Amino acid sequence: MQAWRKHGKYVIAFAIAAVIAVAGFSGWQDYRERQRQAEGRAYVQAIDLVMKEDLRAATGAMAEVASKGGGYRPLALLEEASLKVKAGDRAGAVKIYDDLAADDSVGRPFRDLATVLSVMISLDSGEPAALLKKLQPLAGPDQAFHPSALELQGLLALRQGDFKTAKQNFRSLSDDAAAPTGLRQRATQILAWIGERGGA
């Protein structure tokens, strides 16, 4: 009884705090679940606009989803950029891709994909040296987007008339058994094209 009189109030206070914490955590989980469901519905509605080819409305909807953050943000940004490309706004798309690629709060696969897409839509107009610099972190053989980076490097070499470097890139890609079949086949076709033109 003496111990209870001395420490009982602390036990009660701890018990109350524990109950509040559990209730708060449970409430937070419920809130997050409702929030995720709302985010999912908003994203699905935006995708529906994409499927209907309502570019303006779909772009606005994707921007709205992205602005709210959450798990659908990277997907919404990628879709928004893609819609801008379809609408002819390549500069706007590149900005979205580059911002996403530089966002450390986003998973590495999304950042790397954004880099690849940024370079892809800039192939015919971007500064080759700047585009090659973007691709450099993805060029290592242990990188997930290595085959795509290799192809883009080869295309940039072709754009500059550097057939030797292009041939090396596409040869490496065509010989890479781990690369997607489509990329390997395309590399083989480009190598044949270079050969027909007497490329070094």
Closest C-alpha among 99, 103, 129, 97 to residue 115: 97
Whole-number Å distance between alpha carbons of 103 and 110: 10
**Side-chain half-sphere exposure of 195, counting CA atoms within 13 A:** 9
Instruction: Report pLDDT for 2.
Output: 54
Instruction: Report pLDDT for 170.
Output: 93
Check the CA dihedral 7-9-15-18 and report its sign: negative
Check the CA dihedral 183-144-120-163 and report its sign: negative
The DSSP result for 29-41, as a single string, is HHHHHHHHHHHHH
Report pLDDT digits (tens) over 139-195. Answer: 888 899 999 999 999 999 999 999 999 999 999 999 999 899 999 999 999 999 988
Percent of the chain at pLDDT exceeding 90: 58
Residue 107 φ/ψ, nearest 5 degrees: -60, 150
3-state helix, strand, coil in the chain (%, to 5): 80, 0, 20
CB contact at 8 A, 83 and 59: yes
The band of 68, judged by pLDDT with boundaries at 50, 70 and 90, is confident
Residue 121 φ/ψ, nearest 5 degrees: -85, 0
Report pLDDT digits (tens) over 110-122. Answer: 999 999 999 999 9
91, pLDDT greater than 80: yes
CB contact at 8 A, 127 and 148: no
Which one-letter amino acid corresponds to residue 131?
A: L
What lies within 8 Å, CB to CB, of 26 at 6+ separation is none
What lies within 8 Å, CB to CB, of 167 at 6+ separation is 191, 194, 199, 200
